[in-house]
């Protein structure tokens, strides 16, 4: 027995060795490619080629029973490595002195987030990294200006607490240039000495940024005094020096390990995805090779006349250049006047960008380029399963669509509507809602899939895997269930939401879940990417107002006894509160027919598309209520022009705790996805 395992392990070791050798060989060739590209001047990324490659290796994976999620994950790692390697070849960061030592000034000490981000940024450098630890950002900048250090690494913004004002203000006056950026995922922990426990803590040392990013957790410890400290790593060092079990600190796991203190609680930030962006600055600007996607930062002041900022920004639209950041700061000494900090995708080495900057200059009374640097956003190549460009019949003459378009142009009798923001008259162009990198609305067709209710870890992870494997873009799962009987399963609540969020994160799928009450909205919006308002709540006006005040997209399901006019008025409640990201969902209405759970009103789709700019999703599962008839309705929804469908499926439909009869089996779901792709 043991010798069998030994033999198998040997085989595995041999395979792993080969994998590593092949990866090394791939890297070598990738380096040769960049050398060849250097001669031809081609950009280092070719998304079209990557898409073809990804599609090919997914199908090879399928032949060998490897799921596409697994293959895609490995592919991303390889591409990421290859892009970084090629970028490094074209753009390296050398010490000014040409020595083998790279001197970097940061605010803070070893173990601080600046320290960790710097280590990550220079990871591929061969030079020895020497840190100059400074107390203030001002001193960091000075160290480079005076030539004591080669680079300054400065935090500029955090995804929870926002821009770091002191650094913005320094950028205005310094002679340094931005030559790089780094994005670092900050994972705050509560730490203490070996005898500390959370309940014993009386005082917590923290940097003010750490306190602001973990404000919700700190509020749960009302008896703890918060003591502000210079930085997170110093807070860790402080509790070691004090050696008092009543003292805690907020710092990274790395700092806790460095100072050998105990982690009392991980992930205490308000948002689990908490990133800080750092700028790398040097004395001289650095040219960025045109084959690398670059960003440029600038600061400007526009004149104090109506429309001057709009005119300046319109220049970016004119040249079709994407702005990634706009931040304003008061001008010291000039009350009520502002400086605008702006980042955009582009490189002044490109003549179009030079022209843009020239023109921008005419609309400003101050303009300073802060630097151009390689962008750290490595876009993941995705396969688009459902571009609706490939509709069934494309010849206008044969289908008579030309005639239909003519009809559309005929003037329609004026109708007085009680909704405004939801109407096409108000906004003629389609609303496209972006969730991560998925677009809902316009020409896109998307699939939302998942169980009726989240029931367990294994169930929702199996569903997420299945959804991803066959190209669904969004994972659904009810956590708070509106059940007809109070004795039926009511959902797992926030515990279910944790599982849904974890499954979505693991498989890279945004998640949607239903909210039942206004007081749930804020908490659910923290974890779900899209909020659902169920059919039974379509006219729950206080709930509509609550989701209207929230920043997440909302999918509003048509009430089972509601007209389209009532649906659009319900959408208006949400829109008029400020939330302009509303998706409508047709899920079947109640008629005299008893053969189906509801009657799917497919005619609603073309009518709604005429009346409103909002995206429309069809839910065939709740409409028909029988699993064997979901697929034809899903196909019909695509053909009538819906922007997507939402279906329920389950690893073991008969055992589902809610809506077992309509849940597709995985094989049926797979077949549906295949059929939809052909349409």
Binding flag, residue 516, Mn ion (CB under 5 A): no
Binding flag, residue 656, Mn ion (CB under 5 A): no
Among 143, 312, 452, 530, the residue binding ligand PEP under the rule CB under 6 A is 452
Q: 67 exposed, middle or buried (CB, 10 Å; 0-12, 13-18, 19+)?
A: middle
The residues pairing with 249 across neighbouring beta strands, listed in sequence order, are 191, 205
Candidate ranges 172-180, 196-204, 530-538, 589-597; the one touching ligand PEP (CB under 6 A): 530-538
The order of strands in the sheet holding 262-265 is 225-228, 203-206, 247-252, 188-192, 262-265
Give the separation between CA 46 and CA 82, rounded to whole angstroms.
12
- Give the angle 19-22-23 at the CA atoms, nearest 5°: 85
Give the separation between CA 119 and CA 125, rounded to whole angstroms.
10
Give the separation between CA 583 and CA 564, rounded to whole angstroms.
14
Candidate ranges 214-222, 278-286, 326-334, 445-453; the one touching Mn ion (CB under 5 A): 445-453
Shorter beta-carbon distance to ligand PEP: residue 372 or 537: 537
Give the separation between CA 597 and CA 535, rounded to whole angstroms.
14
CB 168 within 8 A of CB 341: yes
Query: If you ran DSSP here, which 8-state letter would residue 414 be given?
Result: P
Binding flag, residue 659, Mn ion (CB under 5 A): yes
- What's the min distance (Å) between Cβ of 540 and ligand PEP? 12
183 binds, among ligand PEP, Mn ion, none (CB under 5 to 8 A by kind): none
- What's the min distance (Å) between Cβ of 544 and ligand PEP? 14
Candidate ranges 208-216, 466-474, 528-536, 661-669; the one touching ligand PEP (CB under 6 A): 528-536
Binding flag, residue 552, ligand PEP (CB under 6 A): no
- Dihedral sign from CA coordinates of 530, 532, 533, 535: positive
587 binds, among Mn ion, ligand PEP, none (CB under 5 to 8 A by kind): ligand PEP
Element (H, E) at 104: strand 101-107
Residue nearest to Mn ion (CB): 452
The two tokens of residue 167 are: 């650094």
- What's the min distance (Å) between Cβ of 598 and ligand PEP? 8
Shorter beta-carbon distance to ligand PEP: residue 83 or 452: 452
Q: What is the SS3 string spanning 232-249?
A: HHHHHHHHHHHCCCCEEE
- What's the min distance (Å) between Cβ of 603 and ligand PEP? 18
- What's the min distance (Å) between Cβ of 625 and ligand PEP? 10
Shorter beta-carbon distance to Mn ion: residue 103 or 597: 597
How far from chain centre, in Å, is Cα 647?
A: 23
Among 237, 587, 597, 627, the residue binding ligand PEP under the rule CB under 6 A is 587
Q: 388 exposed, middle or buried (CB, 10 Å; 0-12, 13-18, 19+)?
A: middle
Candidate ranges 137-145, 297-305, 421-429, 531-539; the one touching ligand PEP (CB under 6 A): 531-539
Shorter beta-carbon distance to ligand PEP: residue 347 or 658: 658
Angstrom distances, CA of residue 90 to CA of 126, 280, 345: 15, 17, 18
Shorter beta-carbon distance to ligand PEP: residue 47 or 488: 488
CB 174 within 8 A of CB 369: no
Binding flag, residue 557, ligand PEP (CB under 6 A): yes
Query: If you ran DSSP here, which 8-state letter would residue 555 be given?
Result: E
Residue of 621, 650, 657 lying closest to 488 (CA atoms):
657
Point out the residues that are catalytic. 276, 278
Binding flag, residue 651, ligand PEP (CB under 6 A): no
Among 535, 568, 582, 624, the residue binding ligand PEP under the rule CB under 6 A is 535
Binding flag, residue 622, ligand PEP (CB under 6 A): yes
Give the separation between CA 415 and CA 425, rounded to whole angstroms.
11
152 binds, among Mn ion, ligand PEP, none (CB under 5 to 8 A by kind): none
- What's the min distance (Å) between Cβ of 657 and ligand PEP? 12
CB 579 within 8 A of CB 547: yes
Binding mask 449-478 for Mn ion (x = CB under 5 A): ---x--------------------------
552 binds, among Mn ion, ligand PEP, none (CB under 5 to 8 A by kind): none
Angstrom distances, CA of residue 557 to CA of 125, 518, 561, 587: 54, 17, 11, 7
Query: If you ran DSSP here, which 8-state letter would residue 319 be given?
Result: T
Within residues 473-492, the interface with ligand PEP by CB under 6 A covers 478, 482
- What's the min distance (Å) between Cβ of 467 and ligand PEP? 15
469 binds, among ligand PEP, Mn ion, none (CB under 5 to 8 A by kind): none
Shorter beta-carbon distance to ligand PEP: residue 478 or 653: 478
CB 483 within 8 A of CB 658: yes
Give the separation between CA 491 and CA 496, rounded to whole angstroms.
7
Shorter beta-carbon distance to ligand PEP: residue 43 or 482: 482
- What's the min distance (Å) between Cβ of 423 and ligand PEP? 24
How many chain residues are in contact with ligand PEP, going by CB under 6 A? Answer: 10
β-strand pairing of 151-158 with 275-282? antiparallel
557 binds, among ligand PEP, Mn ion, none (CB under 5 to 8 A by kind): ligand PEP
535 binds, among Mn ion, ligand PEP, none (CB under 5 to 8 A by kind): ligand PEP
| Dihedral pair phi/psi, residue 476, rounded to 5° | -105, 165
What residue ranges bind Mn ion (CB under 5 A)? 452, 659
What residue ranges bind ligand PEP (CB under 6 A)? 452, 478, 482, 514, 534-536, 557, 587, 622
């Amino acid at each position: 027995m043991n010798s069998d395992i030994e033999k198998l392990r040997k085989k595995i070791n041999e395979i792993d060795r080969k994998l590593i050798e092949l990866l090394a060989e791939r890297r070598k060739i990738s380096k040769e490619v960049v050398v060849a590209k250097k001669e031809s001047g081609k950009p280092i990324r070719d998304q079209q080629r990557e898409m073809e490659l990804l599609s090919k290796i997914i199908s090879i994976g399928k032949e060998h029973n490897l799921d596409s999620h697994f293959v895609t994950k490995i592919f991303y790692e390889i591409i990421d490595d290859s892009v970084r390697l090629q970028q490094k070849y074209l753009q390296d960061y050398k010490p000014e002195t040409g020595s083998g030592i790279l001197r970097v000034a940061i605010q803070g000490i070893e173990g601080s987030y600046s320290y960790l981000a710097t280590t990550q940024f220079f990871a591929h450098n061969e030079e020895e990294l020497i840190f100059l630890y400074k107390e203030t950002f001002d001193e960091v900048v000075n160290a480079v200006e005076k030539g004591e250090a080669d680079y300054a690494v400065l935090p500029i913004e955090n995804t929870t607490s926002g821009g770091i004002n002191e650094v913005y203000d320094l950028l205005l006056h310094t002679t340094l240039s931005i030559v790089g950026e780094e994005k670092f995922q900050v994972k705050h922990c509560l730490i203490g000495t070996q005898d500390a426990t959370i309940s014993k803590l009386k005082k917590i040392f923290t940097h003010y940024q750490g306190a602001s990013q973990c404000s919700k957790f700190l509020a749960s410890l009302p008896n703890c005094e918060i003591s502000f400290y210079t930085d997170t790593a110093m807070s860790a060092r402080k509790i070691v020096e004090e050696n008092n079990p009543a003292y805690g600190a907020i710092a990274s796991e790395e700092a806790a390990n460095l100072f050998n203190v105990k982690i009392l609680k991980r992930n205490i930030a308000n948002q689990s995805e908490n990133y800080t962006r750092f700028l790398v600055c040097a004395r001289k600007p650095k040219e960025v090779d045109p084959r690398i996607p670059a960003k440029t930062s600038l600061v400007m002041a526009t004149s104090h006349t109506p429309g001057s900022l709009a005119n300046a920004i319109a220049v970016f639209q004119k040249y079709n250049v994407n702005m990634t950041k706009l931040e304003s700061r008061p001008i010291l000494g000039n009350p009520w006047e502002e400086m605008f900090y702006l980042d955009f995708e582009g490189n002044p080495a490109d003549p179009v960008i030079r022209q843009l900057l020239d023109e921008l200059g005419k609309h400003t009374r101050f303009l300073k380029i802060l630097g151009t640097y390689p962008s750290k956003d490595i876009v993941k190549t995705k396969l688009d399963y459902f571009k609706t460009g490939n509709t069934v019949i494309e010849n206008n003459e044969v289908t008579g669509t030309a005639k239909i378009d003519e009809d559309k142009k005929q003037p329609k009798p004026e109708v007085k509507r009680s909704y405004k923001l939801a109407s096409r008259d108000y906004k003629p162009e389609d609303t496209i809602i972006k969730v991560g990198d998925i677009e809902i609305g316009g020409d896109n067709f998307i699939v939302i899939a998942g169980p009726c209710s989240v029931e367990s870890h294994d169930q929702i992870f199996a569903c997420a895997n299945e959804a991803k494997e066959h190209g669904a873009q969004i994972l659904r799962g009810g956590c708070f269930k509106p059940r007809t009987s109070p004795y039926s399963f009511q959902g797992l609540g926030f515990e279910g939401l944790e599982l849904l969020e974890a499954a979505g994160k693991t498989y890279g799928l945004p998640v949607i879940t239903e909210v039942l009450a206004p007081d749930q909205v804020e908490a659910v919006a923290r974890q779900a990417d899209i909020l659902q308002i169920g059919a039974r709540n379509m006219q729950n006006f206080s709930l509509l107002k609550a989701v209207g005040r929230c920043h997440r997209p909302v999918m509003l399901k048509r009430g089972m006894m509601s007209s389209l006019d009532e649906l659009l008025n319900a959408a208006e409640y949400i829109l008029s509160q400020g939330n302009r990201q509303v998706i409508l969902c047709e899920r079947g209405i109640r008629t005299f027919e008893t053969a189906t759970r509801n009657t799917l009103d497919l005619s609603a789709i073309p009518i709604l598309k005429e009346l409103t700019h909002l995206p429309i999703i069809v839910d065939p599962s709740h409409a028909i209520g029988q699993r064997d008839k979901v697929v034809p309705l899903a196909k019909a929804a695509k053909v009538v022009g819906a922007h997507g469908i939402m279906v329920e499926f389950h690893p073991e439909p008969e055992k589902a705790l809610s809506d077992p009869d309509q849940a597709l089996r995985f094989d049926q779901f797979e077949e549906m996805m295949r059929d939809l792709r052909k349409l």
